[in-house]
Amino acid sequence: MTEKIGVLAKKASQRTDVERVVVTPLPTVYGEFRAYGYFDHERGDEQVALVHGEPGTDGVLTRLHSECLTGDAFGSQHCECGPQLAAALREVAVAGSGVVVYLRGHEGRGIGLLAKLRAMALQAEGLDTVEANLALGLPVDARDYGVAARILGDLGVRSVRLMSNNPRKREALVRHGIRVSEQVPLLIPPCESNITYLRTKRERLDHHLPHLDAVAHVSS
- The one-letter amino acid at 20: R
Tell me the C-alpha distance between 173 and 180, whole Å. 8
CA distances from 136 to 70, 76, 117, 123, 207 (A): 20, 22, 11, 12, 23
Distances (CA, A) of 98 to 68, 152, 153: 21, 11, 14
- Concerning whether 34 is annotated as a catalytic residue, the answer is no
**Which amino acid belongs to residue 198?**
L
Q: What is the separation of C-alpha 3 from the centre of its chain, rounded to a whole number of angstroms?
A: 41
Catalytic one among 143, 150, 170, 199?
A: 143
Gap between the terminal Cα atoms of the chain: 70
List of E strands, 15-146: 18-28, 31-40, 45-52, 60-66, 98-103
141 is catalytic: yes
Active-site hit among 141, 150, 170, 199: 141
Residue 134's H or E segment, with its range, is: helix 129-135
Q: Which residues are catalytic?
A: 141, 143
